[in-house]
Structure 1
Amino acid sequence: MQVDRLQAQQQLLNRLRSDDKGALQEIFQDNYQKVCGAIFRLIKDSVTVEDLAQEVFFRFWQKRHQIEITASLDAYLRRMAVNEGLAYLRSRKYFTEEIEPHSAQISDGGTAEDRFLHTELEQNIRSAIDGLPPKCRMVFQLSRYEEMSYQEIANQMGISIKTVENQMGKALKILRQELHGYLHVLLAILLYGW
């Protein structure tokens, strides 16, 4: 089941890379609502959400020759959607109006340092996730980025729920070890909604 889905995804991506606009249309139809949902979590304006969702697919088409998808197309598009929403918020200075007052509480006037640490943390998180063993990484990404339940992950990957639990536990243990120096930053993010 998982193999068939991955093969179908790969065929669709191959069509996309060969400039087949029909492939983009299929991807758009299958994922538009998911992309809108991911953006809507950040921005509660439906008109803006639709504009940003269209921008996600436009950028996806522009990047079609460079796209490398390691987990799933859904996760890739969801990540693009979140990034598009965050970029929009930054450009509208929502972050400076709503988040920097909290950052000032974390460090006396250290908002530039906070932003630097946040960027560094994002890079280290991506690096740590990329460094996970393949099966472990896929379980983690399906759980965290696609918000799938353990049962859904087990069904999609053709493994038992116990294996999913073990792989998730392994992923979290590795990530804790890799990111232990950033626990204070993670705590600030959780407390102040960075």
Structure 2
Amino acid sequence: MDNPTHQDWLLRLRAGERTALKAIFDQQYTPVCQAIYRFVKDPGLTEDLAQEVFVRLWEKREQLHIDSNLGAYLRRMAVNEALAYVRKKSRYQADELPVHLPGRFATPADQSLAASELAQRITLAIQSLPPRCQSVFQLSRFEEKTYQEIADQLNISIKTVENQMGKALKIMREQLGDYLGVLIFFGWW
């Protein structure tokens, strides 16, 4: 094959050809890193999570059924990997965010600024919540706890958790209205 397509590479990958994984890696590594970096803002962590994406691709190669574009599929895997990492963090601090993207992860400056601004606005919105709302929101969205687990941990009723979460989401919607579409798209709401 002189110029293999994405489907050709997928067939070879499913057959266990490591050269197919290398070719996919070489072609898709930078876009995967860019997708991850938008969320984690750390070059080293970005590379680690990108490696995880390709390891997972290799491990699940026999079950792969990708009908869409391979690049889009890998970017979605990357976003999911990054969001899983962010959700597991107990706190999200804006002062950890760099102002620009380094080297090979560079995207247009306005995208970098917008991502940084969004992260700062999310952090400020969370910090502006009343203490109980803030606790409930963070346990739900960042630690992925169920309402029952939150109620047990905070020693409150499930109804109180529901009310506090509703209040938190209302405040967050008011403060992040300009970004609501982006937040919904990436599964934050």
Query: TM-score, normalization: structure 1?
Result: 0.51
Amino acid at match of 1:73: L
SS in 1 for 2:39: coil
Summarize deviations over 1:28-72 as a string: whole Å, max 9, x none. 000001101111111111111111111110011111111121210
Question: Which residue of structure 1 lines up, in the alignment, with residue 49 of structure 2?
Answer: 52
Native 8 Å contact 1:52 1:84 kept in 2: yes
Question: Which residue of structure 1 lines up, in the alignment, with residue 154 of structure 2?
Answer: none
Whole-Å Cα distance in 2 between the matches of residues 90 and 24 of structure 1?
A: 29
Structure 1 residue corresponding to 2:26, chosen from 11, 26, 29:
29
Structure 2 residue corresponding to 1:102, chosen from 126, 134, 147:
126
Q: Are 1:18 and 2:42 matched, yes or no?
A: no
Summarize deviations over 1:55-106 as a string: whole Å, max 9, x none. 1100111111111212100000000111111111122223599669639849
Native 8 Å contact 1:100 1:111 kept in 2: no
Change (3 A) 1:44 1:114: closer
Whole-Å Cα distance in 2 between the matches of residues 103 and 70 of structure 1?
A: 42
Determine what percentage of the aligned residue pairs are the same residue. 42
Question: Which residue of structure 1 lines up, in the alignment, with residue 137 of structure 2?
Answer: 111
SS in 2 for 1:41: helix
Native 8 Å contact 2:53 2:78 kept in 1: yes
Whole-Å Cα distance in 2 between the matches of residues 18 and 84 of structure 1?
A: 25
Whole-Å Cα distance in 2 between the matches of residues 73 and 189 of structure 1?
A: 36
Relative contact order, higher structure (CA 8 A, sep 6+): 1
Whole-Å Cα distance in 2 between the matches of residues 100 and 114 of structure 1?
A: 18
Whole-Å Cα distance in 1 between the matches of residues 175 and 80 of structure 2?
A: 17
Give the root-mean-square deviation of aligned CA atoms: 3.9
Whole-Å Cα distance in 1 between the matches of residues 63 and 41 of structure 2?
A: 31
Q: How many residues matched?
A: 124
Q: Are 1:63 and 2:60 matched, yes or no?
A: yes
Whole-Å Cα distance in 2 between the matches of residues 67 and 95 of structure 1?
A: 33
Long gaps (5+) in structure 1: 119-183
Question: Which residue of structure 1 lines up, in the alignment, with residue 71 of structure 2?
Answer: 74
Whole-Å Cα distance in 2 between the matches of residues 42 and 80 of structure 1?
A: 13
Whole-Å Cα distance in 1 between the matches of residues 65 and 173 of structure 2?
A: 32
Change (3 A) 1:100 1:69: farther
